[in-house]
Amino acid sequence: MTGAEFVPLSLTPILIGIFAAIACALPGNFLVLRRQALIGDAISHVVLPGIVVAFLLTGAVTAWPMMLGAAGAALISVVLIEAIRRLGRIETGAAMGVVFTAMFAAGVLLLERSDTSSVHLDVEHALMGNLESLIWLEATGWRSLLDPQALAGLPPELPRLALVLALVIAFTWVFWRPLKISTFDEGFAQVLGMRTDLLGIALVMIAAIAAVAAFDAVGSIIVIAMFICPPAAARLMTDDLARQVGWSVVFATLSAILGYVFAGYGPLWLGGSDSVSAAGMIATVSGVILALAALFGPRRRGMMA
Amino acid sequence: MLFEALTLQLGYNATLVAIGAMLLGISAGATGTFLFLRKRALVSDAISHATLPGIGLAFIVMVWLGMDGRSLPGLLIGSALSAWIGLLCVQWLTGGTRLSEDSAIGAVLSVFFGAGIVLLTVIQGMSAGRQAGLDSLLLGSTAGMLFSDAVLIAGGGALVLMLTLLLRRPMSLVAFDSDFAAASGLNVPRIDLATMGLVLAVTVVGLKIVGLILIVALLIIPPVTARFWTERTEHVWLIAGALGGASGYIGAAISASAPALPTGPIIVLVAFAFFAVSLLFSPARGVLSSVLRHRQYQRRVHLRQGLLALAQGQPIYEGYTLRLLQREGLARPDGVATGDGQARAAKALLDEKRWEILRGLQAHEATAARYDGLTGLETILTEDQLRDLDTRIAAPREIAP
């Protein structure tokens, strides 16, 4: 394939996929270690009512209000889960199940009741995203990367995700030590004078921001898969947190690239004619990586060996 | 319109759906109880999402064999098989590696769902015309349900309910205390597997009505709601079943009463409404009752401390205490005790003194532990015991010349 074909049609979706995958996988490392992996699942479900409400308020499918709506819904769900857990003395998993299913149902109902026929907003879009359509038509080849005029035509999701990814990296880098200590030994972190409760909330909020930004571009399946699969696979590779984060970035990148390529070209290799869902394929590839790590990973059984 | 729907007068199809949804709700509530009590509620989320690739594959296989790809029994068999594989994957990841169960659940649900979406796009590509209907299993759709489908759903729901009834004793034992169950000779892994099998059956049966994303709600919300009303396992699943059935029935009826009211989400929202009411108003664990209990406790503490202050002639500065004493007619606005107040204050002081003496006595050690600064000792001890205590209080005595 030549640059003239690759750059406009495949470069931006692959980059967006990679950015989304890494932005979710980084906080995912800590969520998996803290046994909060399903927070990602809950957040990605409640994003739907958030964007629907934002749409109803603004009357248009525009990025920033929707992201605000989604972030608001994520925040509300986290608060609700915590409130139900404490007020009703119910275990976290069940409290989560109550909140995210009810909010998702409310989102679907709102969507059905409101007139969204004129705009591209439906449940399937929310689940699958449309990575394939984020192409860069202005580009003519590799040279376009240096052409300001062509760069102006980049899909807006790309710089947005790059920004969010930078934020996530900055958060992980700045709070590395407190995150590490509080994840492995919360009591010790408190003795050192760390506000572990605030740190926990900050981690969930960063995860929510990553989820919302990624969701906008690639749909909620990838978000859940990338929160959990690359970090979980990385956890089976090493005992060292820094190396685990490194592995998870590698796995996330690999899933995004291979998933996109298989979805776009796999059917052609097998003699088919149409491509399949890239979001679904990226999730599938990350699952295959996790399965391989679970079968052959050097640290799959933990410390006992 | 809603009344007609609730009394099953909206026609044949709506009636079928309502009855099917009710049976589904009852069996989901009852089965979900054991999952919830075992603290594994979200395993059902992995199971339900893992049905999707099976649905896609079943469709492809059936078309390939020259059958109608949309045949519900075939799709349900496929979904059950892939959900079973998903469940095994969760158990393999949890047991075979050091990953925790929540990571395993999240990994399985997202990967299987992703694979299912891939298969759905494959189906879209292979025969666009015949694809219609598969994505309705994501969110459920009762419009144009066939009679045979409704019978299948109702029958499946009834069967699951029967199996739940049969297995309820071992399942509640395992859910309540798995170590004890194992010690009494029950095969805990096998019973867990049976519970999961029932959950899987509910999921598969519910695909058509509620859809695979929201079926989790029917398995989780009714048991959580029921937990607010009782402390007994055997009552939890009965109440959960009733709540699930009511949600299914009312939800299906509401959805039939007007257009653009999708059945699945409405059923879930009805169940959530039951939950919200219980969270707020249930007598034992509800928010309202615990606020009231807290207020009453606060009142008793302030009243008691106020009376003690009156008895010892100390001034009261605390506003709430002062207001409380006034409202009860025990003190005047300037903080001076009324006659009634003096009597109550003296009694409170006597009570404190009795407690103080009691704490010094070996024989009353158990009673002394019940001191909370609020309970009158006369509600615990007998007349004789009190009289005995009172002899130990240093009463004013005549001074010998």
- Indicate yes or no: CB of A112 within 8 angstroms of CB of B260: yes
Task: Assign B331 to helix, strand or coil.
Answer: strand
Task: Indicate the residue among B219, B246, B262 that finishes a domain.
Answer: B262
- pLDDT tens per residue across span B76-122: 899 999 999 999 999 899 888 888 888 999 999 999 999 998 888 88
In a domain, B183, yes or no: yes
Q: What is the count of structural domains for chain B?
A: 2
Higher pLDDT, B323 or A119: B323
- Indicate yes or no: CB of A101 within 8 angstroms of CB of B217: yes
- Indicate yes or no: CB of A101 within 8 angstroms of CB of B224: no
Residue B102, token pair as written in the block: 């929540």
From chain B, the residues in CB contact with A47 under 8 A are: none
Rounded alpha-carbon distances, angstroms, from residue A113 to A97, A106, B68, B149, B259: 24, 10, 32, 27, 9
pLDDT of residue B331: 85
Whether A122 has a pLDDT exceeding 80, the answer reads no
Cα B112 to the center of its chain, rounded Å: 28
Residue B4, token pair as written in the block: 């007609």
- Indicate yes or no: CB of B118 within 8 angstroms of CB of A232: no
| Chain B residue whose CA is closest to A123 | B139
How far A285 CA lies from chain B's nearest CA (Å)? 8
| Chain B residue whose CA is closest to A91 | B39
Residue B253, token pair as written in the block: 């009826």
Query: What is the DSSP secondary-structure string of B58-126?
Result: HHHHHHHTTS-TT-HHHHHHHHHHHHHHHHHHHHHHHHHSS--HHHHHHHHHHHHHHHHHHHHHHHHHH
Higher pLDDT, A250 or A9: A250
* CA proximity to A129, closest of A231, A220, A219: A219
Q: How many other C-beta atoms can be found within 10 angstroms of the C-beta atom of residue A151?
A: 14
In a domain, B99, yes or no: yes
pLDDT of residue B130: 55
In a domain, B360, yes or no: yes
Size of interface A-B (CB pairs under 8 A): 217
CA–CA separation, A10 and A150 (whole Å) = 15
How far A255 CA lies from chain B's nearest CA (Å)? 12
- Indicate yes or no: CB of A108 within 8 angstroms of CB of B97: no
Q: Among A97, A273, A283, select the one facing B220 at the smallest CB separation.
A: A97
CA–CA separation, B264 and B213 (whole Å) = 9
- Indicate yes or no: CB of B39 within 8 angstroms of CB of A91: yes
- pLDDT tens per residue across span B11-51: 777 787 888 889 889 999 999 999 898 888 889 999 999 99
pLDDT of residue B131: 55
In a domain, B280, yes or no: no
Q: Please state, rounded to an integer, the average pLDDT across all residues of chain A.
A: 84
Residue B73, token pair as written in the block: 């029994």
Q: Please state, rounded to an integer, the average pLDDT across all residues of chain B.
A: 85
* CA proximity to A105, closest of B199, B295, B312, B265: B265
Query: What is the DSSP secondary-structure string of B175-240?
Result: HH-HHHHHHTT--HHHHHHHHHHHHHHHHHHHTTTT-TTTHHHHHHHHHHHHHTT-S-HHHHHHHH
How far A132 CA lies from chain B's nearest CA (Å)? 13
> Do A45 and A104 touch, CB atoms closer than 8 A?
yes
pLDDT of residue B106: 92
CA–CA separation, A281 and B58 (whole Å) = 19
Q: Among A94, A267, A302, select the one facing B224 at the smallest CB separation.
A: A94
CATH of residue B186's domain is 1.10.3470.10
How far A36 CA lies from chain B's nearest CA (Å)? 7
Task: Assign B260 to helix, strand or coil.
Answer: coil
How far A301 CA lies from chain B's nearest CA (Å)? 5
ipTM computed for the complex: 0.90
- Indicate yes or no: CB of A225 within 8 angstroms of CB of B97: no
Task: Assign B337 to helix, strand or coil.
Answer: strand
Q: Which residues of chain B have pLDDT under 70?
A: 1-2, 5, 8-10, 127-133, 143-144, 395-397, 400-401
CA geometry: angle at B202 spanning B199 and B206, to 5°? Answer: 140
* CA proximity to B44, closest of A100, A141, A239: A100
> Do B330 and B340 touch, CB atoms closer than 8 A?
yes
B251 plus B313 within the same structural domain: no
pLDDT of residue A305: 40
Mean pLDDT value across residues A63-86: 85
B200 plus B320 within the same structural domain: no
In a domain, B272, yes or no: no
- pLDDT tens per residue across span A264-302: 887 777 766 677 888 889 999 999 999 999 998 888 776
> Do A226 and A290 touch, CB atoms closer than 8 A?
no
B236 plus B315 within the same structural domain: no
Q: How many other C-beta atoms can be found within 10 angstroms of the C-beta atom of residue B100?
A: 18
How far B64 CA lies from chain A's nearest CA (Å)? 15
CA–CA separation, A132 and A110 (whole Å) = 27
In a domain, B399, yes or no: no
For helices A278-296 and B101-126, what crossing angle results, to 10°?
Answer: 140
Whether A304 has a pLDDT exceeding 50, the answer reads no
Whether A127 has a pLDDT exceeding 80, the answer reads no
From chain A, the residues in CB contact with B116 under 8 A are: 280
Residue B283, token pair as written in the block: 């007598």
- Indicate yes or no: CB of A88 within 8 angstroms of CB of B285: yes
Instruction: Please state which CATH number belongs to domain A3-135+155-304.
Output: 1.10.3470.10
CA–CA separation, A29 and A23 (whole Å) = 11
Helix (H) or strand (E) segment spanning residue A249? helix A241-269
> Do B205 and B198 touch, CB atoms closer than 8 A?
no
Mean pLDDT value across residues A153-177: 89
- Indicate yes or no: CB of A37 within 8 angstroms of CB of B103: yes
> Do B111 and A284 touch, CB atoms closer than 8 A?
yes
From chain B, the residues in CB contact with A87 under 8 A are: 279, 287, 290
CA–CA separation, B61 and B55 (whole Å) = 10
Phi, psi of A118 (to 5 degrees): -80, -15
- Indicate yes or no: CB of A276 within 8 angstroms of CB of B121: yes
- Indicate yes or no: CB of A236 within 8 angstroms of CB of B102: no
Q: Among B106, B220, B227, select the one facing A37 at the smallest CB separation.
A: B106
In a domain, B126, yes or no: yes
How far B329 CA lies from chain A's nearest CA (Å)? 36
- Indicate yes or no: CB of B118 within 8 angstroms of CB of A281: yes
Rounded alpha-carbon distances, angstroms, from residue B367 to A210, B364, B380, B392: 58, 5, 8, 17
B329 plus B253 within the same structural domain: no
- pLDDT tens per residue across span A81-94: 888 888 888 888 89
Residue B293 is classified by DSSP as: H
B27 plus B105 within the same structural domain: yes
* CA proximity to B133, closest of B63, B72, B184, B90: B72
Q: Among A98, A124, A222, select the one facing B224 at the smallest CB separation.
A: A98
Range of the domain at B333: 288-392
From chain B, the residues in CB contact with A183 under 8 A are: none
B73 plus B208 within the same structural domain: yes
In a domain, B111, yes or no: yes
B82: region left, alpha or beta (phi > 0 left; psi from -120 to 50 alpha): alpha
Task: Assign B371 to helix, strand or coil.
Answer: coil
Residue B337's beta-bridge partner residues? Answer: B331
Q: How many other C-beta atoms can be found within 10 angstroms of the C-beta atom of residue B139?
A: 22
- Indicate yes or no: CB of B111 within 8 angstroms of CB of A276: no
> Do B279 and A88 touch, CB atoms closer than 8 A?
yes
CA–CA separation, B64 and B42 (whole Å) = 35
- Indicate yes or no: CB of B224 within 8 angstroms of CB of A90: yes
